A and B are shown apart, each in its own frame.
Chain A
Amino acid sequence: MLTLYIAPLLGGIVIGLTSGGLYLLMGEIAGITGIARSAIIGPSRGWQMAFIAGLLASGGIAALMLGGDFTAGIEGIPLPVLALAGLLVGLGTDLGNGCTSGHGVCGLSRLSLRSLAAVGLFMVSAGLTVFLLRHGGF
Chain B
Amino acid sequence: MLATFAPLSGFLLHLPILQVIIPLITAPIVVVIGIARIGWLLAFLASIASLVVSYLLLMQVIDGSVISYQIGGWAPPLGIEYRVDAANAFVLLILSVISTVVLPYAKTSVEKEIRAGSQTLFYTAYLLCFTGLLGVVITGDAFNVFVFLEISSLSTYVLVAMGAERDKRALTAAFDYLVMGTIGATFFVIGIGLLYMMTGTLNIVDLASRLEPLSGNRTVQAAFAFIVVGIGLKLAIYPLHLWLPNAYTYAPSAVTSFLAATATKVAIYVLLRFMFSVFAPEFSLASGALQYIILPFGVIAMFAASIVAVFQADLKRTLAYSSVAQIGYMLLGIGYFSNTGLSATMIQLFNHAVTKAALFMAVGALVYRTGTSFIPKLAGLGRQMPWTSAAIVAGGLSLIGIPTTVGFISKWVLLTGALEKDWWWMAILIVASSLIAVIYIWQVVEVLYLKEPENETVVKEAPLSMLLPIWTLIIASFYFGLDTELTLTSARAAADAFIGAVSPIAGASQ
Instruction: Answer whether A and B are interacting partners.
Output: no
Interface residues of A (CB under 8 A from B): none
Interface residues of B (CB under 8 A from A): none
